[in-house]
Amino acid sequence: MKKRKDNRLVLVIATLLTFAAIGLLIDWHGSRETVAVNMQYDASVELSFDERIYTMLTTGGANPQPPLPGAGTDDVQASFLNATALLSARNFEQAVDAFHKVLMLQPEMPEAHVNMGFSLIGLQRFETARQFFQSAIDIRPAQRNAYYGLAVAHEELGALHEAIDAMRIYVHLVPQNDPFRRKAESALWEWKAEVDERAP
C-alpha cells in the first residue's frame, strides 16, 4: 500500500517538474516581460522530526535574478532543474552538490538558497539549512518559502520563538487560499501550545 502511494507521489512530482520546465522555457525565451518565472516543484518529503511530513515549497512567486556575466541562462536553468529533480527524489547529498553548482553560477538566486536549505533539512543539518534560508531572505525579503523553511529549521534547533516568528511572516505573505497556509497555521498552533506549556 505504501509503495503504491509513493508511486503516485513520484508521478505528481514528475508532472509538476515537467510543467515547471515548460513554464521556465517559455518565460526565459519568450517576449513577455511581466510574467513571473515559476521554477517550481512540489514534493512531500517525510523527515524524521516529530513523525510529521513537511511539504517542501520551492516557489517564491517571483522571478529569479538574471544570470551573472559568464553564467549562461541555459546553464543556470539546466543546473537548477537537475538539482530540484535530485531534491524531489530525496537524493539530498547529491542535491546539495547540485545546488552548490547552481549557486556558483548564480550566487544571488534566492530559489537556489531555499532549495539548498530544504536539501540540508533532508540531511538533518539544520543550522546550515537555517543559514541558507536566511540568505535567501536577505537577497529577497518577500521569498515566502524561505520563511517556511526557516521556521522548520528553527524548530529543529529548539528555537520555538524564532520558529513562530518566521512562520507568522510566511502566513502573512501567502494568500488566504494558499494550499500550504493551513499547514503553517497548524504548526503555529502547535508551537504556541508548546511554548505555553514550557512557560513557568
Digit-coded pLDDT (tens) for 169-184: 999 999 998 888 888 9
Q: What angle do CA 77, 79, 85 make, to 5 degrees?
A: 100
Confidence band of 198 (pLDDT split at 50, 70, 90): confident
Record the cell numbers describing residue 7, joined without a space: 508511486
CATH number at residue 114: 1.25.40.10
| pTM, 2 dp | 0.67
pLDDT tens figures, 57-112: 443 333 334 444 445 567 888 889 999 999 988 999 999 999 999 999 999 999 99
Chain centre distance of CA 190: 21
Range of the domain at 106: 2-198
Instruction: Give the whole-angstrom CA distance, residue 176 versus residue 15.
Output: 25
Q: Considering only CA atoms, which of 177, 152, 181 is closest in space to residue 166?
A: 152
- Asked if pLDDT for residue 36 goes beyond 60, the answer is no
When comparing pLDDT for 32 and 16, which is higher?
16
Residue range 102-152, pLDDT digits in tens:
999 999 999 999 999 999 999 999 999 999 999 999 999 999 999 999 999
Count the domains in the chain.
1
Calculate the alpha carbon distances from 30 to 22, 25, 35, 130 in Å. Answer: 11, 8, 10, 35
DSSP one-letter string for 93-123: HHHHHHHHHHHHH-TT-HHHHHHHHHHHHHT
